[in-house]
Amino acid sequence: MADVFTPEKRSYVMSRIRGGNTKPELALRSMLHRMGYRFTVNGPKNRTLPGRPDVVLPKHRTVIFVHGCFWHGHEHCPDFRIPSTRTDWWINKIEGNRARDLRAENALRSLGWHVVTIWACALKNSKARLWLEPRLGKLLGQPATVR
């Protein structure tokens, strides 16, 4: 199937994909803050740690990555499927993202950080967030409420 956009329009559409402050990240940060966690988003540790984590909880020595289901290849997720065009390119791209994620996670663990990955589908809507919220404390290795 041919692309429905011209190359110029496709370039524009792809340039609008944000790298930070995405809706899932904002939803997670709101949830963490409500639960009493304090964290950094653009602090000095965020920029220097391997993989540039989305959220750093220095007090708990924990980092959180919010992975988009498509870009990071969330298996068995309805939001992830390999596109039917340029399949080989997309497989290489997503496998490369997964390999980079694994390298960053291993590097962080070797530095003594607790690493948590939260998929965008767990933050997609209010029903998904209601499922995640009571489990978040356990994922972070902390009691359900920090206050």
Q: In what order do the strands lie in the sheet with 55-57?
A: 55-57, 62-67, 114-119
Nearest to 55 by CA among 144, 145, 143, 140: 140
Per-residue pLDDT of 17-76, as tens digits, reads 767 788 999 999 999 999 999 999 988 878 889 999 999 999 999 999 999 999 899 999
Instruction: Tell if the pTM clears 0.75, that is, is over it.
Output: yes
Class level of CATH domain 21-139: alpha beta
Is-contact 119 69, C-beta < 8 A? yes
- What SS3 class is residue 112? coil
Max Cα distance, the chain (Å): 54
